[in-house]
Structure 1
Amino acid sequence: MVRFPEFGTPTSVRWRFERLNRPSPLRGSNGVVFGPDGLLYVAQFLAGQISAVDITTGRVEVVVPPTGPARAPDDLAFGADGSMYVADITPSRVWRRSPDGEFSLLSEEVRAPNGITCVGDRLFVNEMFPRGRVLELPPDRAPVVLAEGLALGNAMQRGPDGLLYYPHMITGQVWRVGLDGGDAEQVAAEVHEPVAVRFDREGVLHVLSRGEEGIVTRIDPDTGRREVTRTGVAGMDNAAFDRENRMLVSSFASGGITAIEAKRARAVVGRGLNGPYGVAADERGRVYAADHFRLAFDELSTDGLLQQRVGGSCHDLAVTEGAVHVTSTQGEVRTFDPATGSVRTRASELSEPLGVAVLGDALVVAESGSGRVLRIDAGDERSVLAELVRPVGVATDAQQRCYVTDEGRGVVVEVTENGVETIVDELDRPQGVVVVDHELFVLEVGARRLLSVSPSTRASRVEAENLAVGTPPGIERENPPPSTFPPSRPRAFAGLAATPEGDLLLSASGEGTVQRLSTAAQRAPRAQRP
């Protein structure tokens, strides 16, 4: 199942398309809760939508599309009357969706609302923010503060003792507080990267970890006794228990819904890529994908390196022997050594770095927010190579020439010692770019097509059309400046790369796949672009 079937099927005379991973219909999965109809409702922060899953068949239906009022839904709860409550984290809003589907805004006074739960007709929410709060949102008066000083709140729930249990994500603790406030009490410390607190149908406390191993810790709040299970579901976000007391978990890192039965994981909805954004292949042909919350590789749907290793907000990457160079929407450029696991920060406090390429012993980075093209040398010293409007993609060739796509002007330029020279213009949102055998390939995302250009003659042609890149027709996305609290979604970016054999790699974010484009060795004669 593709993520957005509106994209259709790519067409090309020259290229054959092969998906390297199976797409998932859930682009990230965050808060999960069973609704009155027995379906599992899933908040999708990255997709900006809410879906419903039939856990028997795995069928996924979009209930609240990206065009709905909630822009970044992160957690959900159902009230006694069947109303759905939505924590809309990035715009800092809390919504009520009535049983007939009408939305009403309940609050804009909760900063980065995340964990949300109902107790009867009472609504509670916490803040994923340093020094955050736990609040009750009464329908007819101002929010009531129950607890303060949260070190990033997240999924919470009332326990059998009538108290609200919630995690401190940064400090690795679980706390509880009364429904009417009072002194908050620490329940457990040194819990592995807690992201969600959940009670099963027998009243047993489960704490989910957001780490790589997918750890679930069962804790007895009275004795402190613990039992740890490793599920293998990396980047868990939330959980719900069905009528048979089976745990259904979500993953912010790779989406999907996974059932945990007898300590074993079974896919209900397959996991996949959040984007993907940048793509690359190393000298052995191993494929990497920058996927925001992780650096995915090989089996792209399920495996990969989470942000704990390489750093968060991965957006584009370039691979050299023994090193993976990554740009982050948090404003950093990092070099990761897969053999040792070490990470070196090459630059920080940049304004929206996107494309990255290797030029000799240096890196070239498109600093999109400032309009600059930067060179970062082996000693991490920076220099400005060019100033453009909105540079996004970067490519270099064997002759050490450097090409950059300028999405703001709709051009591809060559950056030389003498300045900037336009290679091709009048493009609609050019993004990914790569050079293969003296031929320049460009993703024209606005037109959803792939172009080839001769850097020497400037002749160009359309190589493929109807690509699953960019946002689907009819969906407009806001692009606020990147921020950590509340977390912002990554800007759209469709990467393009080459394999050692000369095939192309395309990040088809419209369906959540990396695609390999291969062709016969004989090249067709070049025709002019219309």
Structure 2
Amino acid sequence: MRAEHHRYRGSGRLPRSERWRIERLTEANPLWGSNGIAFGPDGRLYVAQYVAGRISAVDLGSGDVEVVVDLDGPVQSPDDLAFGADGSMYITDLTPGRVWRRTPDGAFTLVSDEVAAPNGIACVGDRVFVNEMRVGGRVLEVTPGAEPVVLAEGLAMGNAMQLGPDGCLYYPHMITGEVHRVSPDGGEPELVAEDVHAPVAVRFDRGGSLTVLSRGEEGIVTRIDLFGSGDRSVVPGEVSGMDNAAFDAENRMFVSSFAAGGIAELSPDGRAREVVPTGLVGPFGVAAHRSGTVFAGDNYRLADVDDGQVTTRELLVFSHGVATDDRGRVHLTSQFGDVRTYEPDDRVLTTRARELSRPTGVAARRDGSLVVAETGRGRVVTIAEDDALDVLAEDLDSPVDVAVDGQDRCYVSDERAGTVSLVDGCGIALVAEGLEAPQGIAVLDGELFVVETGRRRLLAIDLATGERRVEARDLAVGLPPGTARAQPALFQHGLPGVPVPFAGVAAGADGSLYISANGEGSVLHLRRRSRE
């Protein structure tokens, strides 16, 4: 995969450091998540990348990826796409609620901004239809300059849809596990199938068989001979967290994964052939487990990194901060407002707190309690072993990460204020100021390490003297240099918007450091150079 096609320009180069040897534990991700997919007039497979805010085209023969709509364009969060009769690409921009047309020469036209959480999209000749991914959603026909025409209402979260052989539009109800259809000319919607496993995309193969993808961890594909015997088959596959599918002229099925990105060809028996490799969609928080495994909060999942391989440990939507403790537990925060504790050996997940306002960084103390940066309320809170919640500090600007030292003292980074502070029951003591967007922090050997995302570097701050030292430069964190991107509202229609970037750092038991390079979708491992 050519490096210039990764999401961070120049991602083939490693950061510079005089004191640390730096390597990638994972390769940079060529597709920053993969959502809606469709074949274009040129025969390439076009991929909408919701988190990245970009659309890429994949040559299925070579696996080469070319960015055709970059994240500095008008589209903020492309979730699905379809091609019209004239070769124009139509795009659902989920978070801001827009539908776009991109002509073959690259010009954009706003089709509609009157659709709430538009997701699934289908073109029927010159007509364009979309549905809404929300409770009580609708199926609509959209035309530039006209009011949307409602075809169906009451969707229990719609998603990828397609025109069937009978001329009807087919779409899933994700919450209820159903597939429905409606005529493009309106009329009463009809239930087609129920008890379908976690349906996320409805597609028809070249033979007219109804194919429904599951968004679950099991990678299930359900096939229904809708216009023949009515028989149903269920096949577990090898792709977790599927989002969409497209069939080529030879009836080969290609699938995307919102959880891990990549593109795979999925055979009828569920086996997967990798076309574009999967990878990390963030990563955001990162933590080193006592077993040697590295865990990452990867937006749609808790992922682990072992021997260069990324595995989906659990599908946990909107995961951000991650920490481990001496008992081997993993703690993580969610943009939904939850704090959870995970037992890796037993795969048991316990919710420790709910309804926090955008909790981000999390750290574990020796007594088993947790410290959490509650970014949305400007607080640092503690969660005791019995789940009792207490406020450690408040009236902060934008706290994003926390770290504890050997004496269980708590440090917090404040991204907007540009500070790192020591917080305890007595108040807040400034440790460093004048930083540019500090995010991830970790304490190691009497020094505080800070990912200063505004300057794309790692700082070390001596906690005894306050002396600073630049440990690594040119980190692939945040947006690529020179790129601006509007940040949509955090929540619209009850759904989180595009995740707020968070570059974490963690210390390992061997004195090494791990950094989530969320600008390219990798984890960096930093080991001290020998002093010769």
Aligned to 1:381: 388
- RMSD, matched Cα: 1.6
Cα distance per residue 1:413-444 (max 9 Å; x no partner): 11133211111211111111111122211111
Aligned to 1:444: 452
Cα distance per residue 1:464-498 (max 9 Å; x no partner): 11111111012223334422634411101100001
Any conservation in 1 of the 2:26–2:310 contact (CA below 8 Å)? no
Aligned to 2:150: 145
Aligned to 2:175: 170
Q: 1:140 to 1:399 in 2, by over 3 A?
A: closer
Aligned equivalents of 2:255 and 2:488: distance in 1? 30
Deviation at 1:140, TM superposition (A): 5.8
Aligned equivalents of 1:302 and 1:234: distance in 2? 12
Is 1:117 equivalent to 2:125 in the alignment? Answer: no
Give the fraction of aligned pairs with identical amino acids, expressed as a percent. 57
Aligned equivalents of 1:6 and 1:474: distance in 2? 13
- Which of 243, 250, 253 aligns to 1:247? It is 253
Any conservation in 2 of the 1:451–1:461 contact (CA below 8 Å)? yes
Is 1:42 equivalent to 2:47 in the alignment? Answer: yes
Deviation at 1:20, TM superposition (A): 1.1
Aligned to 2:517: 508
Deviation at 1:154, TM superposition (A): 0.5
- Which of 206, 213, 216 aligns to 2:221? It is 216
1:472-491 matches, within 5 Å, as: 472-483=480-491, 485=493, 486-491=495-500
- Which of 457, 471, 477 aligns to 2:465? It is 457
Cα distance per residue 1:303-358 (max 9 Å; x no partner): 21343xxx321001111224211111111111122233332222111111111001
Deviation at 1:3, TM superposition (A): 2.9
Is 1:4 equivalent to 2:8 in the alignment? Answer: yes
- Which of 54, 58, 71 aligns to 1:66? It is 71
Is 1:471 equivalent to 2:475 in the alignment? Answer: no
Any conservation in 2 of the 1:374–1:383 contact (CA below 8 Å)? yes
Deviation at 1:227, TM superposition (A): 1.5
Q: What SS is found at the alignment partner of 1:183?
A: coil
Cα distance per residue 1:7-34 (max 9 Å; x no partner): 5431011111121112221000111001
Any conservation in 1 of the 2:304–2:310 contact (CA below 8 Å)? no
Deviation at 1:459, TM superposition (A): 1.1
Q: 1:329 to 1:396 in 2, by over 3 A?
A: same
Q: 1:161 to 1:427 in 2, by over 3 A?
A: same
Q: What SS is found at the alignment partner of 2:317?
A: coil
TM-score (structure 2 length as normaliser): 0.95
Q: 1:354 to 1:140 in 2, by over 3 A?
A: closer
Cα distance per residue 1:392-411 (max 9 Å; x no partner): 11111111111111112111
Deviation at 1:362, TM superposition (A): 1.1
Q: What SS is found at the alignment partner of 1:68?
A: coil
Aligned equivalents of 2:488 and 2:371: distance in 1? 25
Deviation at 1:139, TM superposition (A): 4.5
Deviation at 1:361, TM superposition (A): 2.4
Any conservation in 2 of the 1:28–1:44 contact (CA below 8 Å)? yes
Q: Which is worse superposed, 344-353 or 164-173?
A: 344-353
Any conservation in 2 of the 1:46–1:72 contact (CA below 8 Å)? yes
Q: 1:484 to 1:293 in 2, by over 3 A?
A: farther
Is 1:348 equivalent to 2:354 in the alignment? Answer: yes
Is 1:418 equivalent to 2:422 in the alignment? Answer: no
Aligned equivalents of 1:87 and 1:336: distance in 2? 35
Moved over 4 A (4+): 299-302
Is 1:519 equivalent to 2:528 in the alignment? Answer: yes
Any conservation in 2 of the 1:253–1:306 contact (CA below 8 Å)? no
1:163-312 matches, within 5 Å, as: 163-222=168-227, 223-263=229-269, 264-299=271-306, 302-307=310-315, 311-312=316-317
Aligned to 1:434: 442
Q: 1:327 to 1:484 in 2, by over 3 A?
A: farther
Deviation at 1:520, TM superposition (A): 3.8
Instruction: In structure 2, give the amino acid aligned to 1:118.
Output: C
Aligned equivalents of 1:214 and 1:262: distance in 2? 13
Q: What SS is found at the alignment partner of 1:101?
A: coil
TM-score (structure 1 length as normaliser): 0.95
Aligned pair count reads 520
Q: What SS is found at the alignment partner of 1:446?
A: helix
Q: 1:272 to 1:95 in 2, by over 3 A?
A: same
Aligned equivalents of 1:306 and 1:475: distance in 2? 32
- Which of 92, 104, 107 aligns to 1:87? It is 92
Aligned equivalents of 1:374 and 1:215: distance in 2? 40
